Homo-oligomer: A and B are copies of this chain.
Amino acid sequence: MEAKMTDIAAIYGHIGANKASHVQKIREFLQQPSVSDGDPKPVRQCAELLRQYYMDLGCVEADLVETGGHPAVWAFYDAGASKTLINYCMYDTQPVRVDEVWAAPPFDAEIVPGSLIGRSDFDSVMVARGAFNSKGPYRSWLNALESIVAVEGTLPVNIAYLAEGEEELGSPHLAGVVDRYLDRLRGGSAVLSIDAAQNEHGRISLDLGCKGNIYFEMECTSLAWARGARREVHGMMRSVLDSPVIHLIQAVASMFGPDGYTPIVDGLDSDIEPWAEDLELIQKLAADPAYLRELAEEHDVIAWLGDMREPTEILRRYFYGSNINVNGIKSGYTGPGAVTMIPSEAVCKVNIRLVPNQEPESVIQSVRRHLDQNGFSDIAISAPQSTGIMDRQYTGYTWAKTSRSSGIVRAALSTYEAYGAPLRVTPHSAGSGPSYLFNRAPLQLPICSFGLGHGGRQHVANEYLVLEGAGAVLGLTSAEQAYVDLLFTYAAQSHESN
Contacts and interface: CB of A to CB of B under 8 A. Distances in A.
Given A228-B301, A234-B431, A338-B395, 6 more contacts: A227-B303, A228-B303, A240-B317, A241-B305, A334-B347, A336-B384
Interface in A187-236: 211, 213, 215, 222-223, 226-236
Interface centre among A231, A247, A261, A339 (most CB of B within 10 A): A339
Interface string A302-340: 111110100000100111111101111111111111111
Contacts of A299: 229, 233-234, 237, 241
Contact of A340 (B235, B245, B327, B342): B327
A236 B431 contact: yes
A238 B338 contact: no
A322 B238 CA distance: 9
Contact of A237 (B243, B252, B337, B430): B430
B328 A349 contact: no
A247 to B, nearest CB: 5
Interface of A: 37, 94-95, 97, 168-170, 211, 213, 215, 222-223, 226-243, 245-247, 249-250, 252-253, 256, 258, 260-261, 299-306, 308, 314, 317-323, 325-343, 346-347, 349, 351, 353, 375, 383-387, 395-396, 429-432, 458-460
B239 A302 contact: no
B240 A318 contact: yes
Contacts of A231: 300
A351 B238 CA distance: 10
A69 B373 CA distance: 51
Contacts of A258: 250, 375
A243 B303 CA distance: 11
A302 B459 CA distance: 42
A87 to B, nearest CB: 24
B252 A384 contact: no
B242 A306 contact: yes
Nearest to A259: B242
Nearest to A396: B338
A429 to B, nearest CB: 7
A140 to B, nearest CB: 23
Nearest to A245: B326
A37 to B, nearest CB: 4
Contacts of A346: 329
Given A243-B260, A258-B375, A353-B239, A302 B336 contact: no
A447 to B, nearest CB: 18
Given A230-B300, A351-B338, A256 B250 contact: yes
A218 to B, nearest CB: 11
Nearest to A214: B338
B321 A239 contact: yes
A240 B305 contact: yes
Nearest to A233: B299
15 contacts: A95-B337, A168-B338, A223-B302, A227-B302, A227-B305, A235-B353, A237-B299, A240-B304, A242-B260, A249-B252, A249-B329, A325-B340, A336-B386, A338-B384, A341-B459
Contact of A241 (B226, B304, B432): B304
A331 B329 contact: yes
